[in-house]
A = this chain, B = another copy of it.
């Protein structure tokens, strides 16, 4: 009998997150205040986030303990399974060993609760009663709804109106967990009212939803804002994924040759890649290949500029040094909504600059082809975002078929596709197409980059 699933006992679950900041061979570029051009201070961020999260953002500690109350909630679905994809290997006729780390078993169906729950916890601990956030297709909004339910926090989610109308199921999930979800633009904020006054039929945008959520949080003493990706503390919480995976490989007596993940804001990829990047930095596994797979139509890491830019369309965030397509860039409407982001977690960008990871852009049709191959081999139907990682993993396995190498390939599987069946329908009925790389739009958006001292 060949073992399929590599499980960990609850008592084997890591009790600390891994913070790569102190191990980086070169320090991460500072985050800048857009008004002064100087490094942001913890106090600058205090209206939005609790101090413990802000401290994590800049922490010099290599390991940060996961509070027991948080571990108890992780144990609802963690440790998650590391699974050998025997049937996929057979379908591909490859000598490669393919593994996937499955985050779809969380109640929200993705890796997002790993940080949502941590953020809710630290806010609750600081006496905050209420959080606000934005959501596009609803993955993050539903994960934070779950988290706020666990800690008895109120939550208001501003959901981009076009998604609110087209994709009601994620909204209903949020409401089932007790959150309030309103379409953005909403009449509840000045930002929303201004847009509605100009165009009552506005479909909204993620940038505007962020503006509404931030305005709401800043305007109330009992409220904070919460962000689902990009920031260091978000990636920190996600390292539980990579830390568990390393233990699971150790138990199996294996170590991967190749790690692949999908990137939008970069939290799932970072959560898996960062603990493995440590092994490249300290030289224990110098030859490990770590690949970030992004949409060809939103090729931040492969075609973007490494420059200081805003994290949001509305220019309300601090400036971060990252690969960016320009904060004004509006990506084509690919089904992988979670990957439609102009920027990228600065940590991932720094790792790319240092040559510790590499990036690859994949076209939409090829990702769905990979997702269907996966579903028809392993059974599990994956999110369109995840299909980018699966595509990259399959491509590496096909290379092994050519060369005859039995490499060990690890796919970071970020979540299931149960709320994305319409996208599969479009693919299966030949209604899906690839988007060309929107060169003109990117060029125009990059012209809008802010001026900062070291915009090199």
A3 CA / B422 CA spacing, docked (Å): 39
Q: Are A376 and B178 in contact (CB under 8 A)?
A: yes
Q: Is A172 an interface residue (CB 8 A)?
A: yes
Residue among A1, A87, A168, A419 with the highest chain B CB neighbour number at 10 A? A1
A5 CA / B73 CA spacing, docked (Å): 12
Q: Is A375 an interface residue (CB 8 A)?
A: yes
Say how far A142's CB is from chain B's closest CB, in angstroms: 10
Say how far A25's CB is from chain B's closest CB, in angstroms: 37
Partner of A4, one of B68, B75, B108, B425: B75
A105 contact set on B, CB distance < 8 A: 105
Q: Is A107 an interface residue (CB 8 A)?
A: yes
Q: Is A369 an interface residue (CB 8 A)?
A: no
Q: Is A150 an interface residue (CB 8 A)?
A: yes
Knowing A107-B380, A172-B421, A418-B418, the reply to whether A11 touches B1 (Cβ < 8 A) is yes
Q: Are B428 and A176 in contact (CB under 8 A)?
A: yes
30 contacts between A and B (CB under 8 A): A1-B68, A1-B71, A1-B72, A3-B10, A4-B72, A5-B10, A7-B9, A76-B83, A87-B150, A105-B105, A106-B379, A107-B375, A107-B378, A107-B381, A109-B418, A146-B379, A150-B379, A169-B418, A169-B421, A172-B421, A172-B425, A173-B381, A173-B421, A175-B428, A176-B372, A176-B424, A177-B376, A178-B376, A416-B418, A418-B419
Interface residues of A (CB under 8 A from B): 1-5, 7, 9-11, 68, 71-72, 75-77, 83, 86-87, 105-109, 146, 149-150, 168-169, 172-173, 175-178, 372, 375-376, 378-381, 416, 418-419, 421-422, 424-425, 428
Ranked nearest first, the 3 interchain pairs of A and B with the lowest CB-CB distance are: A107-B379, A418-B418, A169-B421
